Amino acid sequence: MQPSDRVMNLRQVFVTVLMFGVAGLLLFMYLQAWIEEHPTVSGEKLQQQIINQDSKLPHPEELATAPKNQSAAANLNKRQTTVIMGRHSQEQASPLGEIASSLVSRLSEQQKMTKAFLKQLKQVNLPPVMRPLNKSLIKDDRWKNIDEAQEKRRYFLYDFCKKYSSENRLRTHLVRMVSRIYVEDRHKILYCEVPKAGCSNWKRILMVLNGLASSAYSISHDAVHYGKHLKKLDSYDLKGIQTRLNTYTKTIFVRDPMERLVSAFRDKFEHPNSYYHPVFGKAIIKKYRLNAREEALKTGSGVKFKEFVWYLLDSQRPVGMDIHWEQISKLCYPCLINYDFIGKFETLEEDANYFLQLIGAPAELKFPNFKDRHSSDERTNMEVVRQYLKELSDTERQLTYDFYYLDYLMFNYTMPIV
Ligand SMILES: *[C@@H]1O[C@H](CO)[C@@H](O)[C@H](O)[C@H]1NC(C)=O
Ligand SMILES: *[C@@H]1O[C@H](CO)[C@@H](O)[C@H](O)[C@H]1NC(C)=O
Ligand SMILES: *[C@@H]1O[C@H](CO)[C@@H](O)[C@H](O)[C@H]1NC(C)=O
């Protein structure tokens, strides 16, 4: 072989290797760009499905039970939007027209917020962990049914959350995320407060467990809420927060979203209240009531449920949100905190007493079943809720449902049929 041939061969080999290298690099860059655009394809698809359902349909469970009305349900949103639009164009100049158009913009804003929220969930990489409940203290069969319901609920939430988490951004928001969680160090409990879902009695129980009181019945409403006896999780340093999150039994008690909303409305607006009337009532009447009387504008008393809902759904609320009607998903971050125990207001006493057994509370400590404010009023149950929902139009009901969509989804609630 000639020396020049050998040089040629070497050059060819070199060029070939270089070309493969460049091609490989290009392929790599292309793939990376593609992956960034399509993080988890199936997750995205699912999310899209849910968002589509959000705008069009009632709860998937509802459809399963009433397949014949599916097309009616699917048309609901379209029809309602046109109705609103129609009303809007007729009443362009009136405040009601503005409210109607605000409701429409509210819908798309809610969808955006739901999207953003689901995206945020995807960005937090606490892969949801499901720790088994420690049942070593449960000695009898009495709790069997309650325990089964509990496990179902835990798996249900876990499955929902698993679809939406993937990457870690937790630390930045950690403190805010735990700001509604109360700490009981003796029995190692974390309790996230959801107002209007039995939280006063829960705080009483935590105070008794902590040795701050001898009986739940001896603690007044004001001592519970303004006493500052119980510590919140955000009062600890980062390490204190993380240790407790990882080792304590974390619990949340939830309630049907509409029941919670109606209950909050009745409690805050149908009884004299020196905070909610002047702060929320006044602003609500001023913005949403046509020809409001001087007296109502001055006191803020007598807000109607419909007016309250207009405020709730308004993208330009005249006053901010309040924990009593804030979504549970924003108060307690159920998909990030990984609650060990999910109680429901609908089965409050059984769930709570089972929880007390699990954590080894004194045998004589039982969850109190009293209602300490407006105790003569009928409790807000589904029948009462229906009466209130009847005051709303179909659209307003649908938008209210959309507003609490994640709460419905996470805890397997269904929209009441009015
Ligand atoms: C379907 O919905 C309509 C009203 O939207 C109602 O009158 C009818 O009874 C429903 N049908 C079934 C099968 O649920
Ligand atoms: C379960 O609880 C019991 C009693 O509180 C405790 O002794 C045991 O170590 C716990 N088991 C686990 C796995 O945490
Ligand atoms: C969800 O709710 C439906 C209807 O209330 C019920 O039949 C079903 O068992 C629930 N699923 C879980 C996992 O709790």
- Assign 418 a pLDDT band (cuts: 50, 70, 90): confident
**Burial of 410 from C-beta contacts in 10 A (0-12 / 13-18 / 19+):** buried
- CB-based pocket (< 6 A), ligand 3: 61, 152-153, 156, 412, 414
Q: Coil, strand or helix: which one is 192?
A: strand
Position 300 pLDDT exceeds 90:
yes
Which residue's C-alpha comes closest to atom 1 of ligand 1? 69
Position 379 pLDDT exceeds 80:
yes
> What separation in Å is there between the alpha carbon of 269 and the centre of ligand 1?
34
- Assign 413 a pLDDT band (cuts: 50, 70, 90): very high
> What separation in Å is there between the alpha carbon of 260 and the centre of ligand 3?
19
Mean pLDDT of the chain: 79
Alpha-carbon separation of residue 249 from 154, 345, 358, 361 (angstroms): 13, 19, 9, 13
- Find out whether 292 and 285 touch, Cβ atoms under 8 Å: yes
Amino acid in position 216: A
Atom of ligand 3 nearest to the CA of 153: 14
Could you please report the per-residue DSSP string of 224-249? HHHS--SEEGGGS-HHHHHHHHHHSE
Amino acid 272: pLDDT = 95
Question: Is the overall model pTM greater than 0.75, yes or no?
Answer: no
Sign of the alpha-carbon dihedral angle for 134, 136, 139, 141? positive
Residue to substitute in 136, 248, 356, 357 for testing ligand 2 pocket (most ligand atoms within 8 angstroms of CB): 136
The response to whether residue 228 sits with its C-beta less than 6 Å from ligand 1 reads no
From its phi and psi, is residue 292 left (phi > 0), alpha (psi between -120 and 50) or beta?
Answer: beta
> What separation in Å is there between the alpha carbon of 73 and the centre of ligand 1?
10
Amino acid 356: pLDDT = 95
Amino acid 134: pLDDT = 93
- Find out whether 229 and 206 touch, Cβ atoms under 8 Å: no
> What separation in Å is there between the alpha carbon of 137 and the centre of ligand 2?
8
Model confidence pLDDT, tens digit, residues 35-56: 444 433 333 333 333 333 333 3
Position 152 pLDDT exceeds 70:
yes
Model confidence pLDDT, tens digit, residues 304-326: 999 999 999 999 999 999 999 99
> What separation in Å is there between the alpha carbon of 320 and the centre of ligand 2?
44
Find the mean pLDDT for residues 256-282.
96
Task: Find the range with the poorest average confidence among 70-74, 327-331, 369-373.
Answer: 70-74
Q: How far does CA 106 lie from the centroid of its chain?
A: 18
> What separation in Å is there between the alpha carbon of 357 and the centre of ligand 2?
13
The response to whether residue 66 sits with its C-beta less than 6 Å from ligand 1 reads yes
The response to whether residue 69 sits with its C-beta less than 6 Å from ligand 1 reads yes
- Assign 8 a pLDDT band (cuts: 50, 70, 90): low
Find the mean pLDDT for residues 361-373.
85
Amino acid in position 395: T
- CB-based pocket (< 6 A), ligand 2: 134, 136-137, 360
- Assign 120 a pLDDT band (cuts: 50, 70, 90): low
Find the mean pLDDT for residues 56-68.
33
Position 67 pLDDT exceeds 90:
no
Position 255 pLDDT exceeds 90:
yes
- Alpha-carbon distance 24 to 12, whole Å? 18
Amino acid 99: pLDDT = 62
Model confidence pLDDT, tens digit, residues 382-404: 999 999 999 999 999 999 999 99
Task: Find the range with the poorest average confidence among 165-174, 186-195, 235-244, 357-366.
Answer: 165-174
Atom of ligand 3 nearest to the CA of 65: 4
Position 14 pLDDT exceeds 50:
yes
Residue to substitute in 131, 133, 134, 135 for testing ligand 2 pocket (most ligand atoms within 8 angstroms of CB): 134
Which ligand gives the minimal distance to the CA of 74? 1
Position 246 pLDDT exceeds 80:
yes
Which ligand gives the minimal distance to the CA of 413? 3
Amino acid 55: pLDDT = 34
- Assign 28 a pLDDT band (cuts: 50, 70, 90): low
Amino acid 58: pLDDT = 34
Which residue's C-alpha comes closest to atom 12 of ligand 1? 69
Find the mean pLDDT for residues 73-94.
39
- Assign 107 a pLDDT band (cuts: 50, 70, 90): low
- Alpha-carbon distance 302 to 292, whole Å? 11
Amino acid 319: pLDDT = 96
Which ligand gives the minimal distance to the CA of 70? 1
Which ligand gives the minimal distance to the CA of 256? 3
Which ligand gives the minimal distance to the CA of 139? 2
Atom of ligand 1 nearest to the CA of 66: 14
Radius of gyration in angstroms for the set of CA atoms belonging to the chain, rounded to a whole number: 27
